[in-house]
Amino acid sequence: MTVDPLDHGNPELPADERTELLLARMTLAEKIGQMCMFVGEPAEVNGDNVDEMTSYRLGVADQAELVRAGRAGAFLKVPGAKEAAHLQSFTRESRLRIPLLIATDAIHGHGMDVEAATIFPSPIGLAASFDSELVERVAACTARELRATGFHWTFSPNVDVVRDPRWGRTGESFGEDPFLVAELGVAMVRGYQGRTLGNASVLACAKHLVAGGCPENGLNGAPAEVSERTLREAYLPPFERAVRAGVSTLMPAHNEVNGVPCHASRELLNDLLRESWGFTGFVVSDWNDIPRLHSVHRVAENEREASYLAVRAGIDMQMHGGDFFEHVSELVREGKLSETRIDEAVRPILRAKFALGLFDPADAETKLPEASLLTAEHRELAREASRKSLVLLKNRDNLLPLGAARSLLVTGPNAHDQSLLGDWSRRQPEANVVTILQGLRALAAPHVNIVHSPIGSITAITDEEIAAAVRAAEDCDVLIAAVGENSLRDNPERSSGENVDRASLDLPGRQLELLQALAEAGKPLVVLLVSGAPICSEWLVEHANALVQAWEPGIEGGTALAEVLFGLQNPSGKLPITFPRSTGQLKTYAAQRPSSFHRGRFRFSTHEPLFPFGHGLSYTTFEYRSLRSKDSLAIGEPLQLELELENTGVRAGEEIVLIFLLDSYASVTRPAQELVAFERVQLAAGERRTIRVELASNVFSLLDAKFERVCEPGEFKLVAGLGKLSKNVVLVA
Ligand code: GLC
């Protein structure tokens, strides 16, 4: 039986109204069906390779049956545009023809489910650009490629604040600083969703609420033992900012926080998220995390009780499959869950589908996927993002940019590998990716000879490979070694990424041995670090002549790196996360308390990090002068500050101006420094500019001992240029 299109099919009506009309027509089973997400990889494709849930991979016939019966609201892991359209077609055979949401983890491009897309630098690399506008454009581009292939929802941005880089997922975060993470998280939400949801936008998903970035021992999903203060000062603010920016969906964290699993925390998912912050979207569980309330956290004696705890806490959609539908249906029949709660869950799901235009005549999805993916414009954006993400950590004797070199050795496991793409990206067609070797070959001047000595794998470097590289080094002027990590999802040997955490921040495998052997050749050594997280080696800092943190720079990473090495581009990135000197130095991050290092000293080391948050060199020099502002300020008043910035070098460059605030004295301890503003400034050689920044009054506020947000009169210190300039300001009552 088809539905009368007038009831909810009228696109002239507001989404809210259409939602109510539709909701009123739905049976309880159809409502609960909207709360169910399934995996789209059909069993025929994956054989009996089932995950921990028997219904992980349904056959195509089973999927069709579910959709026709109105038992599915969304799918993830759908292997392409054709499969997405095929699943969607079954909805037209259902009673109410409610479209499916097709979701994926497009966290730095549409990299997981389609053959060929634009893969940008991993989020940690985007963070190193300190460029919110760039991040918004990257997300908007990704949204276009998603909608062009019939996808509507990305589980991004990850707004976890990361304070333990042993966590294998550090690369998918925006780093350690709550302000930077929040700014870029909001930018990404805006890019994905647009100013209002429509045919060219996708639903964003702020994840993982909360404190997944500081799991015990850095192990993904491990408990987060976090003080109330750290939760409120560091880990929660980026989520609140994303909610207030209108993020459509939210995903709880795998982990427990102080004994309560996030997936069962009504305090988190209802009281804080909805009642305090005013969230009006919907909450989707993380992968299998509802049954894990029973099987892992053991706060539910069975999966039915787990479903009850999760829905009661505030989870509106389950990822994925299993018996969730049956459990919730029984719980409602027994009165343990009310139909009102079901309506609360289903309403935002339907509203999102209306707002995305999914009920209305063919829209962006009719575009041929090939016409919208990896266009020249998208590739140029990927190149821009890669360029801005690169961080020049060290450049002894201004070795870079490479000038007179006539022959370059290029070696290392990441020299000619798609490890550039990072996690949450499938391998891309070779023709789409510019590896480091290819980038160097493409841009090297005719007289420069590029010698490649292959190294096969991050974790299995052989004696022969090292010997061959050392031999090749003898005839080269400069040695370039691309080392680090490999988090490519389909690489069984991957050394980091989701559920691949690190017990050590050192270079994995025999990479250091390779570098030490190369250093013996007595030639200048340029080390390129391809990694989603800090690699910490004091040897590297001492012996490499030049060191570039490339992160996971995406499909144009080879081009961007070659441009920097040959001087066609001036590096501008800065570290969004502290590089500890060693694993033993953890935790170390910029916003620690003054007492963190006032007394204790490591017996055989120093407490100073290898490279601090905000570090990044340029091929030019910048001078900061005359930080100016009012000397005193009334509580509630914004602060205007100015400073002079001059490019005192011989070539153009972009400087990221970071403004920190220090609260000199307060009723509770305060971070030694807090980032409160950042701005990229492009200056020609010799150019001088006045930089103006306005700080909102709330930057001077704090959470007092009772967690009340207050402004305390007293002295504050503004710091710019990583300490080069400072200025005191007194806040008066
Ligand atoms: C994983 C991740 C989450 C991701 C989801 C779907 O468990 O924790 O970030 O979005 O599964 O792939």
**DSSP letters along 264-308, please?**
G-HIIIIIIIIIIT---SEEB--TTTTTHHHHTS--SSSHHHHHH
Which spans in 151-301 are helix H? 178-193, 228-230, 237-244, 266, 292-295
Q: β-pairing, 101-104 with 153-154? A: parallel
Backbone angles phi, psi at 247, to 5 degrees: -60, 140
CA distance 19 to 7: 10
CA of 668 to the centre of ligand 1 (A): 37
Residue with CA at minimum distance from ligand 1 atom 6: 287
pLDDT at 364: 44
Which atom of ligand 1 has the smallest separation from the CA of 155?
A: 10
286 alpha carbon to ligand 1 midpoint, in Å?
Answer: 6
Cα(first)–Cα(last) distance of the chain, in Å? Answer: 69
Return the pLDDT at 9. 76
Residue nearest ligand 1's atom 8 by CA: 286
- pLDDT at residue 492, rounded to an integer: 87
Q: In angstroms, what is the span from residue 126 Cα to ligand 1's centroid?
A: 20
Region of 234 please: left (phi>0), alpha (psi -120 to 50) or beta. alpha
CA of 618 relative to ligand 1 center, distance in Å: 36
- In the chain, pLDDT over 70 holds for what percent of residues? 96
User: How far, in Å, is the centroid of ligand 1 from the Cα of 37?
Assistant: 13
Distance 499 CA to ligand 1 centre (A): 11
Q: How far is the CA of 290 from the centre of ligand 1 (A)?
A: 13
The two counts, helices (H) then strands (E), for the chain are 23, 26
**pLDDT, average across residues 465-488:** 97
Cα–Cα dist 504/527, whole Å: 19
3 three-class SS: coil
* Residue closest to 552 by CA, chosen among 108, 104, 105: 108
- Output the residue whose Cα is nearest ligand 1's atom 7: 287
State whether residue 132 is helix, strand or coil. Answer: helix
C-alpha 208 – ligand 1 centre gap (Å): 9
Residue 5 above 90 pLDDT? no
pLDDT digit string (tens) for 521-571? Answer: 999 999 999 999 999 999 999 999 999 999 999 999 999 999 999 999 999
Q: Which residues pair with 103 in a beta bridge?
A: 153
Instruction: Encode pLDDT of 23-59 as tens digits.
Output: 999 999 999 999 999 999 876 665 555 555 555 668 8
Contact present, 455 and 465 (Cβ < 8 Å): yes
Question: Alpha-carbon distance 129 to 255, whole Å?
Answer: 30
Identify the sign of the CA torsion 157, 296, 291, 43. positive
Per-residue confidence (pLDDT) for residue 7, from 0 to 100: 61
Kindly give the distance from the C-alpha atom of residue 253 to the centroid of ligand 1, in angstroms, as a whole number: 9
For residue 83, the CA-to-ligand 1 centroid distance in Å is: 21
* C-alpha 424 to ligand 1 mean position (Å): 10
Q: Which residue has the tokens 């509630």?
A: 636
With contact defined as beta carbons under 8 Å apart, do 193 and 526 qualify?
Answer: no
Going by alpha carbons, the residue nearest to atom 3 of ligand 1 is: 286
Tell me the best of 498, 499, 501 to mutate to test the pocket of ligand 1, counting ligand atoms within 8 Å of each CB and taking the most.
498
Q: Which atom of ligand 1 is nearest to the CA of 208?
A: 9
pLDDT in tens, 417-452: 999 999 999 999 999 999 999 999 999 999 999 999
How far is the CA of 488 from the CAs of 41, 106, 426, 514, 554, in angstroms? 19, 14, 7, 22, 11
> Model confidence at 369, in pLDDT bands (50, 70, 90)?
low
Q: What is the rounded average pLDDT for all residues in the chain?
A: 94
Q: Which residue's alpha carbon is at the smallest distance from atom 1 of ligand 1?
A: 287
> Of ligand 1's atoms, which has the minimum distance to the CA of residue 220?
8
Higher pLDDT pick, 721 / 395: 395
**56, 287, 292, 426: residue to mutate for ligand 1 pocket, most atoms within 8 A of CB:** 287
pLDDT band for 722, please (50, 70, 90 cuts): confident
CA 289 to ligand 1: nearest atom: 7
Chain position carrying tokens 């940019």: 401
pLDDT at 361: 65
Atom number, ligand 1, closest to the C-alpha of residue 288: 7
d(C-alpha 47, C-alpha 333), whole Å: 36
CA–centroid distance, residue 75 to ligand 1 (Å): 13
Q: Report pTM.
A: 0.97
Element (H, E) at 511: helix 511-519
Does residue 345 surpass a pLDDT of 80? yes
- What is the best residue among 151, 173, 250, 286 to mutate for testing ligand 1's pocket, by most ligand atoms within 8 Å of CB? 286
Q: Which of 353, 345, 278, 356 is nearest to 307 (CA)?
A: 345
Q: Return the DSSP state at 428.
A: P
Label residues 492-516 b or e (16+ Cβ within 10 Å = b).
eebbbbbebbbeebbbbbbbbebbe
Pairing state between β 639-647 and 622-629:
antiparallel
C-beta separation of 714 from 664 below 8 A: yes
- In 401-524 the beta strands, taken as DSSP E runs, fall at 407-412, 449-454, 478-484
Q: Report the residue among 107, 108, 155, 251 best suited for mutation to probe ligand 1: largest number of ligand atoms under 8 A from its CB.
A: 155
Residue nearest to atom 10 of ligand 1 (CA): 155
CA–centroid distance, 342 to ligand 1, in Å, is: 24
- Name the residue at shortest CA distance from atom 11 of ligand 1: 287
275: CB partners within 8 A, 6+ apart: none
Residues in the ligand 1 pocket, defined by CB under 6 Å: 76, 105, 155, 207, 286-287
Mapped onto helix, strand or coil, the DSSP state of residue 473 is: helix
Residue 472: closest CA among 514, 411, 401, 515 = 411
What 3-state class would DSSP assign to 251?
A: strand
Which pLDDT score is estimated for 357? 93
Tens digit of each residue's pLDDT (9 = 90 or more) over 6-26: 467 788 889 999 999 999 999
- pLDDT at 604 (0 to 100): 87
Contacts of 461 (CB under 8 A, 6+ apart): 413, 455, 509, 510, 511, 513, 514
Both tokens of 551, joined, read 């992160």
| pLDDT over 70 at 365, yes or no | no
Cα separation of 139 and 189, whole Å?
A: 8
User: Can you tell me which atom of ligand 1 is nearest the CA of 207?
Assistant: 9
Query: How close is the Cα of 287 to the center of ligand 1, in Å?
Result: 6
Q: What residue owns the CA closest to ligand 1's atom 12?
A: 105
For the CA of 254, the nearest atom of ligand 1: 8
* Mutational test site, ligand 1, from 37, 39, 51, 105, max ligand atoms within 8 Å of CB: 105
* Whole-angstrom distance, CA of residue 65 vs CA of residue 327: 19
Q: Give CA–CA dist 440/380, Å, rounded.
A: 18
Cα torsion 392, 397, 399, 403 to 10°: value is 130
d(CA 518, CA 481): 9
Q: What is the pLDDT of residues 448-470, one digit of tens each?
A: 999 999 999 999 999 999 999 99
The span from the CA of 507 to the CA of 491, in Å, is 18
Query: What is the predicted pLDDT for the residue at 6?
Result: 47
Among the atoms of ligand 1, which is closest to the Cα of residue 158? 9
Chain centroid, CA 616 distance in Å: 20
Q: Go through 398-436 and write b for each residue having 16 or more CB atoms within 10 A of its CB, e for each that does not.
A: ebbbbeebeebbbbbbbbbbbbbbbbbbbebeeebbbbb
Query: Separation of 631 CA from ligand 1 center, angstroms?
Result: 48
Q: Which ligand 1 atom lies nearest to the CA of residue 221?
A: 8
